[in-house]
Chains A and B, each alone.
Chain A
Amino acid sequence: MARQFMKGCEAIAEAAVRSGCRFFAGYPITPQNEIPEYLSRRMPEVGGTFVQGESEVASINIIYGAAQTGTRAMTSSSSCGISLMSEGLSFLAGARVPMVVVNVQRGGPGIGAIQPAQQDYNQATKASGNGGFQMMVWAPSTVQEAVDMTYAAFDYAQRDRNPVMILADGVLGTIMEPVVLPEPRSAEEVARLKAICRPWALVGHNPETEQRALVDSGDWNTKKMEQKCIDNAALYESWQAEAQAEELFLEDAEVVVTAYGISGRIAKSAVKLLRAEGIKVGMIRPRTVNPFPAASYEKLDYGRVKAILDVEMSIPAQMVNDVRLAVKDRCPVETCLHAGGEIMGRREIMDAVRALYR
């Protein structure tokens, strides 16, 4: 298929529609406004529903209701807006209701800055709300990857009956890039996907011929509640086999750069420029940040790797903690950081690598 020149946010929105998303609720916040703007026009075209909620809190709860019917549903926001949705996300995860949430990260904490950052890593991967629930978190570094991950996210959400997060950032949301869009799912296919959810979805069952469905995020029976937690934990554990990372030049690397999302693509470019200078540097770019691709660090030859450089647009660094858990003190893990809307440059990554390479 021919490539199109699309803005990250609009491409994410279109990918959602093509995957079968037929319900969106959200509240405006920079730098993700193009997602609701696009869907406000696009959803009616495919018989879907677009709702601008009166707040983020309302929007996530509207999604909670819509997604309980098995309709593929999505919301999007940015950083402080995601914080407002944390209670709702916890309810969705507690009730095991599928949906997709997109966080186009900006500076933080608090109102932070409207410019791009990666300040929500811990929130996304460790605690997006109360109760110790987890979501699969996909971290695209190109508009194409954002499209492919968003398209797939709805399938993961439905398979697991759990929210899935796309963790993007303000650069990815606002850049335009060529992209090849996946084929849209037909109306019949979308209906079929929804019908699969019927056993658990609140779509009106005939009490004489069908089992009643109940969607509830908690249980007053402690034994049953404990079992819910055990089942959830088993789901989260099962994701480990699906962790993904892009690996580059690891065969002979003496310094390994690691970064996700926007920092990942900038780091990749820096690594290629350093390679052209003859510097033996490699790269691990997590594509999933939950599950974290620890196996990529496990298989490094620590007899050769002198150091790992973690590159993030977050101060303090956050992903570095997962990297250190994976590296287990077998080599030093250093950082190269920006925050507050300041965007990482290739030259500073290159300088940091050169300093470790000597």
Chain B
Amino acid sequence: MERNLMVAGFGGQGVMTLGKFLADATCHSTDKNVTFFPSYGAEQRGGTANCYVVISDDEVGAPLGDAMDDLIVMNDPSLHKFLYKLLPGGTLFINSSIVTSEITRQDIKVVKVPVTGMALEMGNSKVLNIIMLGAYVGYTQVVPAEVVWNTIQQKLGKKPALLPLNKRAFEAGLAIGAEQREA
């Protein structure tokens, strides 16, 4: 069993952090093999950024697969650029606050999470990736939510003041993911 995820968006949306937290949590909570591969140009905030996470029972061959089981897109350009990579039956997670294009493919599942709007309501636009991570974990249940939260806590250890906000963000995402999984 191998699961390929691609996360894509603008630089600054926390795309890499999202992928890294998920991969790190997988490494520490399971016996599975996992790779995280970042791909970005010379840009920082505002440029394009994407990363690949592969979780597998066997050795991971290609750290960036040519076909994705799951695709998270945080902006419109990423949707147009990468939607073709999603396998039939795969799941598309979109930041529905700013990804407004109609999804034309009928052979995929779509999970809409208005992460930009939710993050702004929480008072910090930067937590949009943590909301999306929550939604992804809530929907796929690929790793236990507690383990992912432990990873977030550990990684944010130097800035404990940010933990309550991130906890709210993660839990809000989890709830949406779990709800859409039931639906």
Contacts and interface: CB of A to CB of B under 8 A. Distances in A.
Most buried by B among A4, A269, A343: A269
Contact of A270 (B27, B37, B61, B64): B61
B65 interface: yes
Contacts of A344: 62
A306 interface: no
B63 interface: yes
Most buried by A among B24, B58, B59: B59
Given A174-B37, A176-B20, A346 B27 contact: no
A3 B30 CA distance: 11
B23 interface: yes
A265 B27 contact: no
Given A176-B36, A177-B35, A345 B66 contact: yes
B22 to A, nearest CB: 11
A345 B62 contact: yes
A62 B166 CA distance: 47
Interface of A: 3-5, 114, 142, 171, 174-178, 265-270, 272, 343-347
Given A174-B37, A175-B35, A272-B58, 6 more contacts: A171-B63, A176-B36, A177-B33, A265-B59, A265-B62, A269-B62
B38 interface: yes
B145 interface: no
A171 to B, nearest CB: 6
Given A175-B36, A176-B20, A5 B27 contact: yes
B34 A178 contact: yes
A3 B36 contact: no
Contacts of A266: 61-62
Contact of A265 (B23, B28, B61): B61
B175 interface: no
Interface string B28-48: 100001111110001000000
Contacts of B33: 177-178
A343 B65 CA distance: 10
B60 interface: yes
Given A175-B37, A176-B36, A3 B62 contact: no
A293 B105 CA distance: 48
Contacts of B42: 114
